[in-house]
Structure 1
């Protein structure tokens, strides 16, 4: 294939790679093993969760170690916020930086934010020295397709769980989103995207699914994650510690007549597009570990029509109104930030936050989301691969 031949021309170049276990399958190997046969692979940049997704969310990878000869391991998810940015010394002697890591289609998912931070550092390096390594993106399919959801993240809320201007569900492949960053933010890095189908198959099947992180166990999880990730900013369990995180959710206090009213209200929302199965569950770790929770399993019936973000915003608004004494938006440190609560960093939009507090109607929210999704679809047209 043309791109394989072109990559072979880079044989022997000094390379670094941002990757993890999700880059698997080409020649039956982890891709970093394959690339080490082509490039002089000097550095592996570790994302959140580690190379094999060993670690849970918000756990430092500083203690991880791997034996790959004299290869340097640079952990980009340590104990301090500064660890998220690659040291300049780890980049300046490289000819190529390879990005081969799967995304799940939501802006909160941190892998492509890590790639963006690398891209920013390469841009700075180019301004300082006049040159920088080639940024080689090995593209993979978006597991939830091109559908988009949400509104652009306002700059004041930018953090590791959200890059400014991006929608909650962005509808792009890794190559598309990283090219969007490079061009929209005028980073001027030499970005080369190897198309889907070269190293990664054009379609993701459930039989070949490799969990990119511990709490994205199946492709179905990706369909609910654009909305259900907001639960991380609340005292509702998002299902960590169960076998169906983000599809299973609830809390010990969801009981009584208020729970029956919540059931009733949820039945009227996005009719026919999803099913809510009432259940009890016992998280083995994380929120409410060892405590029985009352809640639901979210079963998406029509993935192309179901709007996960709207579902979750609507659900949180109802819970906030029905359980005012028990429900809380969490405070404290979240992804290295303590200046804003997690719900603000995740929601990323003052209008959506106002909706959660009852300042906008459901119809106003629907209109607002539709308008922003239309604008985003037009903006990303050049970046759809």
Structure 2
């Protein structure tokens, strides 16, 4: 890993870029527009959701069309799994690949997985030909800081929503996580990180937040996402189709004495670190569209202490006990994989899946988290900058 404090040193290089609307500057322009004046920008790689976050989750970007001079547009989220990997031709005749895209601090978020797939292809290209473009990461702050949550993803559960060995909430910046991939997986690509502040300020005020994808509308969403993303693998609404996705959640069947008992159990969990507001909501699209859902708004009051993943696992375990005939985990294709249900890909850990099945206590889960999170903090120490 190398650091670069002046990208003008690479002026004139032939370049490709992975980016979207989250890379937006104080001058009122998108970063790729700035780079087109510095580099010979030949290709824009599109991540999931498109260049301007036009598309909802798991919607192919094959139909998207943009016109930016002579730049080639390469969609890396199409209808087939093969589309996730950049075509080899798109990596030829370029000097560097720029990664300038915001992350939200959770391993499920697909932008840095797309960057990882590009990194892998550069590694293969270097082994085959002896050379590969520079991998230039324009770093940006982790919006939820350096706190970590969870356990390493076991390789058998690896997918587009999780790279092996990474925790649910990883605590790294894009430059740190991609450098970890490069060195830990022995990819041997020439990774160069441009520190925070060269392109955008060290601290982005919340009022300048640009939603990196359609269902991360605010920075607050990022604090609950490390846990609440698990709801994608269930028949609960995770709030898509509302103005507060992942903070708003529920289902039509959360009713009766079981709901009262659920309220009681949740109120005793991680006391003082969050508040739950009971509510009813009507999703305008996605799960339970047009049906009134009973549920909650999750309001984090102590972000440095609240453990989103623990909350969500505890919540799902209670649903399994209180609503066994109504609550369920989804089956079918999820992010191009059909051999495992979505909840397994998202949880990514046999011990945690056993907890959901009622095989482990809360105290044992807490000890497990403490061990795995401590180990991860030691592992990533060289990549925290």
* TM-fit CA distance, 1:348: 0.2
TM-superposed deviation, 1:70? 1.2
Q: Distance in 2 between matches of 1:157 and 1:71?
A: 36
Partner of 1:205: 205
Q: For 2:27, what is the secondary structure of its paired residue?
A: helix
1:15-55 Cα shifts (integer Å, max 9, x gaps): 00000000001532100000000000000000000000000
Match of 1:369 in 2: 369
Instruction: Give unpaired runs (5+ residues) of structure 1.
Output: none
Which portions of structure 1, spanning 4 or more consecutive aligned residues, are displaced by more than 2 angstroms? 2-5
Contact 1:22 1:102 in 2 (8 A): yes
CA distance in 1, matches of 2:144, 2:295: 25
Aligned to 1:265: 265
Partner of 1:160: 160
Using the alignment, how far apart are the partners of 1:99 and 1:13 within structure 2?
Answer: 15
Q: 2:298 maps to what in 1?
A: 298
Question: Using the alignment, how far apart are the partners of 2:5 and 2:308 within structure 1?
Answer: 38
Match of 1:288 in 2: 288
Q: Normalising by structure 1, what TM-score?
A: 0.99
1:37, 1:140 → 2: CA distance? Answer: 21
**Unmatched 5+ stretches in structure 2:** none
- Counterparts of 1:127 and 1:44, CA distance in 2: 24
Alignment size in residue pairs: 383
Q: Structure 1 stretch 256-265 or stretch 204-213: which is displaced more?
A: 204-213
SS of 1:27's partner is: coil
Alignment of 1:136 onto 2:128: no
User: Is 2:71 aligned against 1:98?
Assistant: no
Q: In the TM superposition, what whole-angstrom CA distance separates every residue of 1:33-86 from its partner, at most 9, and x where no partner exists?
A: 000000000000000000000000000000000011111000000000000000
Q: Is the 8 A contact 2:18 2:101 kept in 1?
A: yes
1:3 deviates by 4.5
Q: So what's the TM-score if we normalise by structure 2?
A: 0.99
Superposed CA offset, 1:233-287 (max 9, x none):
0000000000000000000000000000000000100000000000000000000
| Aligned alpha-carbon RMSD (Å) | 0.9
CA distance in 2, matches of 1:26, 1:164: 36
Secondary structure of 2:366's partner? helix
Q: Secondary structure at the match of 2:53?
A: coil
Deviation of 1:4 after TM superposition, in Å, equals 5.4
Give the match for residue 111 of structure 1: 111
Distance in 2 of aligned mates of 1:82 and 1:70: 25
Q: Verify the 8 A CA contact 1:139 1:200 in the aligned structure 2.
A: no
Q: 8 Å contact 2:4–2:193 — kept in the other structure?
A: no
